[in-house]
Amino acid sequence: MRRIYLDNNATTPVDPRVLDAMLPYFCEKFGNAASRSHSFGWEAEEAVERARQQVAALIGADPKEIIFTSGATEGNNIAIKGVAGMYADRGRHIITQVTEHKAVIDPCEYLREHGYRVTFLPVDRYGRVDVQQLADAIADDTILVSIMHGNNEIGTLQPIGEIGRLCKQRGVLFHTDCCQTFGKVPIDVESMGIDLLTCSGHKIHGPKGIGALYVRRKPRVRCEPVIHGGGHERGMRSGTLNVPGIVGLGKAAELCREHMDSEPARLAALRDRLQAGILAQLGDVYLNGHSTERTPTNLNLSFAYVEGESLMMGMSEVAVSSGSACTSASLEPSYVLRALGVGEDLAHSSIRFSVGRFNTLEEIDYVIGRVVSVVRKLREMSPLYELVQEGVDLSKVQWQAH
Amino acid sequence: MAYSDKVVDHYRNPRNVGSLDRNDPNVGTGIVGAPECGDVMKLQILVDENQNIVDAKFKTFGCGSAIASSSLATEWLKGRSLDQALEIKNTDIVRELALPPVKIHCSVLAEDAIRAAVNDLKRKQARRQQEAPMGTEPAGNP
């Protein structure tokens, strides 16, 4: 059966060029990058340092400011818990916002249970934080602001440059989770005033299990380690370096940088074609997120009167994801969509499409046709659609919730 | 999540999708669930003069398992008496469709929909009997 992958915000296929770069580091150049006494170690270390440059170049950083991690969850944990631990005597207040990834929210919740104060800022209906509200939330004991760049569910971009400059003025450290934007949206840690930045390999056609954390050196930002051991990565992340993974992340970052002028625009064009094609043929479809300030890969739509999981089931050859409760174990619809004020009914009807490097125009056109036909079929089967056709206002109906 | 073959079959080829005239005195309509919960089922039954179910229709907003549960329910309802209809239990649906634990609520909803449709029909008939004078046949819609 033909399969189309439109879930690139979840993960991406490894680019064959990335795999080629990695392969020698398994069987041939397998050395431990920490081995200083022989050439096996030297060649591994050389590869790691090259990758450090490749990652740093993509965000305007110095290679010495890059720390390799097992992925973005670990990077976020080091940034948040590490800063909290290191600067606890300066203050115990952290500011973040409600639509962060769980890898930011949960470390913050953990700190709250351990004597820290955490402010979760709300977002507007497009998913954006209010910079003035953030400025007002900064207190004398605030040590860290953690605001993501691009949201994983809805793609909304936060004004991180503005936030970074505000944090500089107020003497507060600024961390940003850039998993969804690293390699896809221009990032410059200097002009954006970023002190800590998290990114991941598998979102940019690199391998899973590898990520990087940027930690500013001038002025020096310090993090307590989360994992203790041999003192690797400037003491902030102990553990033998995952050399093949690091090489893959480096190569993936290099490829993104080489195509930064053209690839994000191509992705956005595919995404826009998908959106326009669906909206031209179906009514009562709503965009979740911001219409312009969003990542080039993301399209999150709610199809009124149709439940998300059943829509995905009707086009099972197309891989997408849904904010519907039915796709999670919790039976609660997406907390991101609810934070935007999207009604729970429309949250259940949401589908996230996310495009990537290997998607084609032809695939997009195929998906448009599939979405339109399945939504039409399911609406014919939907009691809600029938009621609306009869002129009933669904919000006035007394439902028997169960 | 992987679906059982039976769920996929009911989803792809739903039995008895549609609507019956809710004003027909021999039609019982049950609508259960809520849009904010992610599932709403409408299930309707039509009875003959002997109070046997001769037709059943459904429309469902919900996941594949909810659609399959209501589709299966309409299949099972045809040919039953009202009392026999109430004997359909959600556990029967779970077993037939091999629903996983997280989808059990879909079968509960289908059972609720059957009850609601039967109760609606009984309520209509009781009202009609009250309104109709003794010894005359009820005519037309109440």
For chain A, the average pLDDT equals 96
Average pLDDT over residues A249-260: 98
Please report the pLDDT score of residue B1 as a whole number.
60
How far is Cα A88 from Cα A321, in angstroms, rounded to an integer? 39
Query: Is A167 a catalytic site residue?
Result: no
Please say if the pLDDT value at position A305 is more than 60. yes
Encoded tokens for B64: 């594949």
For chain B, the average pLDDT equals 91
Which range is least confidently modeled, A212-226, A323-337, B63-77? A323-337
The percent of residues above 90 in pLDDT, for chain B, comes to 83
A16-258: CATH number: 3.40.640.10
How far is Cα A120 from Cα A289, in angstroms, rounded to an integer? 19
Chain B residue numbers with beta carbons less than 8 Å from the beta carbon of A379 are: none
Tens digit of pLDDT for each residue in A343-370?
988 999 999 999 999 999 999 999 999 9
Residue A370 identity: R
Please report the pLDDT score of residue A328 as a whole number.
57
- Segments making up each domain of chain B, as ranges: 5-124
The percent of residues above 90 in pLDDT, for chain A, comes to 93
Tens digit of pLDDT for each residue in A322-342?
877 665 556 678 999 999 999
| Mutate which: A321, A338, A348, vs B, most B CBs within 10 A | A348
How far is Cα A214 from Cα A199, in angstroms, rounded to an integer? 8
Nearest Cα neighbor of B84 from B123, B40, B35, B50 is: B50
Please report the pLDDT score of residue A9 as a whole number.
96
Tens digit of pLDDT for each residue in A24-40?
999 999 999 999 999 99
Nearest Cα neighbor of A221 from A99, A50, A61, A45 is: A61
Nearest Cα neighbor of A149 from A180, A121, A123, A120 is: A180
Cβ–Cβ < 8 Å for A158, A126: no
Please report the pLDDT score of residue A331 as a whole number.
62
CB atoms under 10 Å from CB of A18, counted, come to 24
Chain B residue numbers with beta carbons less than 8 Å from the beta carbon of A313 are: 3, 8, 11, 63-64
CB atoms under 10 Å from CB of A317, counted, come to 11
Please report the pLDDT score of residue A336 as a whole number.
95
Please say if the pLDDT value at position B135 is more than 70. no
The DSSP bridge pattern shows strands A196-200 and A298-303 to be: unpaired
Is A383–B40 a contact, with Cβ atoms under 8 angstroms apart? yes
Please report the pLDDT score of residue A325 as a whole number.
63
How far is Cα A306 from Cα A308, in angstroms, rounded to an integer? 6
Tell me if residue A213 falls in helix, strand or coil: strand
Tell me if residue B127 falls in helix, strand or coil: helix
The DSSP bridge pattern shows strands A211-215 and A66-69 to be: antiparallel
Please report the pLDDT score of residue A327 as a whole number.
57
Average pLDDT over residues B83-90: 96
Give CA A43 to chain center in angstroms: 32
| Mutate which: A1, A310, A312, A316, vs B, most B CBs within 10 A | A310
Please report the pLDDT score of residue A399 as a whole number.
86
Q: Indicate the residue of A313, A325, A326 with minimum beta-carbon distance to B11.
A: A313
Please report the pLDDT score of residue A330 as a whole number.
61
How far is Cα B9 from Cα B64, in angstroms, rounded to an integer? 10
Is B35–A313 a contact, with Cβ atoms under 8 angstroms apart? no
More confident residue, A61 or B127: A61
Q: Indicate the residue of B61, B108, B112 with minimum beta-carbon distance to A382.
A: B61
Nearest CA to CA, how far is A388 from chain B (Å)? 13
How far is Cα A314 from Cα A306, in angstroms, rounded to an integer? 11
- Segments making up each domain of chain A, as ranges: 16-258, 262-392
Return the exposure string of A30-39: e unless at least 16 CB atoms fall within 10 Å of the residue's CB, then b. Answer: ebebeeeeee
Tens digit of pLDDT for each residue in A97-155?
999 999 999 999 999 999 999 999 999 999 999 999 999 999 999 999 999 999 999 99
B137 pLDDT band, cuts 50/70/90, is low
In the block, residue with structure tokens 């979840």: A10
Cβ–Cβ < 8 Å for B65, B106: yes
B132 pLDDT band, cuts 50/70/90, is confident
Tell me the count of A-B CB pairs closer than 8 A. Answer: 91
B5-124: CATH number: 3.90.1010.10
A398 pLDDT band, cuts 50/70/90, is confident
Task: Confirm whether the ipTM is greater than 0.95.
Answer: no
Tell me if residue A277 falls in helix, strand or coil: helix
Nearest CA to CA, how far is B32 from chain A (Å)? 6
Please report the pLDDT score of residue B142 as a whole number.
44
Encoded tokens for A67: 């720390």
Q: Give residues with Cβ within 8 angstroms of A261, minimum separation 6.
A: none
Tens digit of pLDDT for each residue in B87-99?
999 999 999 999 9
Q: Helical H runs in A148-262?
A: 160-170, 243-258
Please say if the pLDDT value at position B138 is more than 60. no
Is A329–B102 a contact, with Cβ atoms under 8 angstroms apart? yes
Please say if the pLDDT value at position A247 is more than 80. yes
How far is Cα B100 from Cα A345, in angstroms, rounded to an integer? 23
Tens digit of pLDDT for each residue in A40-71?
999 999 999 999 999 999 999 999 999 999 99
Chain B residue numbers with beta carbons less than 8 Å from the beta carbon of A399 are: 33-36, 40
In the block, residue with structure tokens 């979740």: A288
Please say if the pLDDT value at position B33 is more than 70. yes
Strand partners, A144: A94, A173
List C-alpha distances in Å: A256 to A18, A54, A67, A177, A213.
11, 10, 19, 18, 18
Tens digit of pLDDT for each residue in A380-396?
999 999 999 999 999 88
**Cα radius of gyration (chain B):** 16
Question: Residues A313, A315, A318, A322: what is their CA dihedral angle, to the nearest 10 degrees?
Answer: -40
How far is Cα A136 from Cα A122, in angstroms, rounded to an integer? 13
Sort B115 into a burial class: Cβ within 10 Å, 0-12 / 13-18 / 19+: middle
Average pLDDT over residues B38-62: 96
Encoded tokens for A207: 């391998």
Please say if the pLDDT value at position A402 is more than 80. no
Planar angle of CA A88, A93, A99, nearest 5 degrees: 130
CATH of A262-392, one of 1.10.1740.10, 3.40.190.10, 3.90.1150.10, 3.30.300.30: 3.90.1150.10
A401 pLDDT band, cuts 50/70/90, is low
Question: Distance from first CA to last CA of chain B, Å, rounded?
Answer: 47
Please report the pLDDT score of residue B130 as a whole number.
84
Please report the pLDDT score of residue B11 as a whole number.
96
Cβ–Cβ < 8 Å for A90, A150: no
Please report the pLDDT score of residue B37 as a whole number.
87
Strand partners, A322: A351
Encoded tokens for B13: 């080829």
Is B67–A381 a contact, with Cβ atoms under 8 angstroms apart? yes
Q: Indicate the residue of B36, B63, B108 with minimum beta-carbon distance to A310.
A: B63
DSSP A386: H
How far is Cα A114 from Cα A108, in angstroms, rounded to an integer? 10
In the block, residue with structure tokens 């179906």: A282
Give CA A298 to chain center in angstroms: 11
Question: Residues B12, A5, A160, A260: what is their CA dihedral angle, to the nearest 10 degrees?
Answer: -150
pTM of this structure: 0.93
Average pLDDT over residues A213-228: 96
Q: Give residues with Cβ within 8 angstroms of B134, minimum separation 6.
A: none
How far is Cα A130 from Cα A163, in angstroms, rounded to an integer? 10
